[in-house]
């Protein structure tokens, strides 16, 4: 896609012109298929166990929400904003939290370290 503002707004206008069609597509898109196995899989990726009530409610809710997200298919490609700059500062040693401050909110500590569960 070109950087030219004219062409970009043309693309936008085209997409806008198709919005009437996409509204309908958006409503039928809730046919997006999400079953409890999909939800369980994503929950395991996110490391969140679900309550049984959540496992029951989420598939239908996700189908509806993800179906609505699919109306994004009608959005034209756009170039990213080009004005981004890195903001750097000298790497100087500064005062930070003390060890006891950093450990203060931990459930378990040992010899000045955080204590966590077994890794495997």
Partner 1 sequence: MADVNAFITEESIEGTDDGPLAGTTVAVKDNISTAGVETTCGSRMLEGYVPPYDATVVTRLADAGATIVGKANMDEFGMGTTTETSHFGPTRNPVDPDRVPGGSSGGSAAAVAAGEADVALGTDTGGSVRCPAAFCGVVGIKPTYGLVSRYGLIAYANSLEQIGPIAGSVEEAAALLDVIAGPDPHDATTREAGADANYAAAADGDVDGMTVGVVPELFEGAHEGVVETVEAALDDLEAKGAETVEVSLPSVEHAVQAYYVIATSEASSNLARFDGVRYGHSAGHDGNWNETFAETRSEGFGEEVKRRILLGTYALSAGYHEKYYAKAQDAREWVRSDFDDAFADVDVIASPTMPVLPFELGEGIDDPMTMYLADANTTPVNLANLPAISVPAGTAEGLPVGLQLIGPTFGEETIVRAASAVEE
* Residue 104 is a binding residue for partner 1 (CB under 8 A): yes
Q: Which is nearer to partner 1, 46 or 93 (CB)?
A: 46
DSSP 79: P
Distance CA 79, CA 20 (A): 25
Q: Which two tokens stand for residue 69?
A: 């997200």
Give the side-chain half-sphere CA count within 13 A for 36.
8
Question: Of residues 48, 92, 93, 112, which one binds partner 1 by CB under 8 A?
Answer: 48
Q: Which is nearer to partner 1, 2 or 114 (CB)?
A: 114
The dihedrals phi and psi of 109, each to the nearest 5 degrees, come to -130, 160
Number of residues that bind partner 1 (CB under 8 A): 57
Q: How far is CA 98 from CA 4, 91, 107, 112, in A?
A: 53, 20, 17, 11
* Residue 55 is a binding residue for partner 1 (CB under 8 A): no
From residue 62 to residue 101, what is the string marking binding to partner 1 with x (rule CB under 8 A)? x-xxx-xxxxxxxxxxxxxx-----x-x-------x---x
Question: Of residues 6, 28, 47, 111, which one binds partner 1 by CB under 8 A?
Answer: 47
DSSP codes, 5-16: HHHHHHHHHHHH
Which residues contribute to the site for partner 1 (CB under 8 A)?
5, 8-9, 12-13, 15-16, 19, 39, 42-51, 54, 58, 61-62, 64-66, 68-81, 87, 89, 97, 101-102, 104-108, 114-120
């Amino acid at each position: 896609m070109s950087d030219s503002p004219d062409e970009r707004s043309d693309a936008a206008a085209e997409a806008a012109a198709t919005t009437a069609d996409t509204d309908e597509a958006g409503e039928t898109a809730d046919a997006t298929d999400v079953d409890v196995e999909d939800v369980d899989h994503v929950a395991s990726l996110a490391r969140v166990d679900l309550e049984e009530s959540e496992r029951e409610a989420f598939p239908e809710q996700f189908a509806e929400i993800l179906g609505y997200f699919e109306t994004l298919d009608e959005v034209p490609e756009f170039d990213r904003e080009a004005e981004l700059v890195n903001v750097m500062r000298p790497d100087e040693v500064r005062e930070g939290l003390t060890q006891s401050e950093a450990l203060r909110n931990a459930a378990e500590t040992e010899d000045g370290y955080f204590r966590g569960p077994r890794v495997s």
